[in-house]
């Protein structure tokens, strides 16, 4: 699932969807999707941290590149996914 795909499927102009979404949620669609992905990643690390690698968590959250995932996670939560996994 990507923001681009959602826009494509909706049939509406990108700027229209973005402005309407922003008016309702106060954040961009991309930020909203990132928030959901990070919430899911945190939950997976809490529940399956011993059984799943960081790469698997990243992939299941829709982020193929583990280094990008780690950077986003650290920006979002203040610790790397590895630190979070080890200190939970």
To the question of pTM greater than 0.85 for the whole model, the response is no
- What are the pLDDT digits (tens) for 12-67? 888 888 899 899 999 998 899 999 999 999 999 999 988 999 999 999 999 999 99
CB 61 within 8 A of CB 69: yes
Which domains, and CATH codes, for the chain? 3-86 (1.10.10.60)
Look-up of token digits 């995932």: 69
């Amino acid at each position: 699932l990507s923001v681009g795909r959602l826009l494509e499927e909706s049939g509406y102009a990108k700027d229209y969807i973005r402005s309407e979404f922003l008016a309702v949620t106060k954040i961009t669609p991309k930020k909203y999707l990132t928030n959901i992905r990070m919430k899911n990643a945190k939950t997976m690390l809490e529940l399956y941290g011993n059984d799943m690698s960081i790469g698997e968590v990243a992939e299941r959250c829709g982020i193929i590149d583990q280094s990008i995932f780690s950077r986003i996670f650290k920006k979002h939560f203040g610790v790397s996914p590895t630190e979070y996994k080890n200190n939970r």
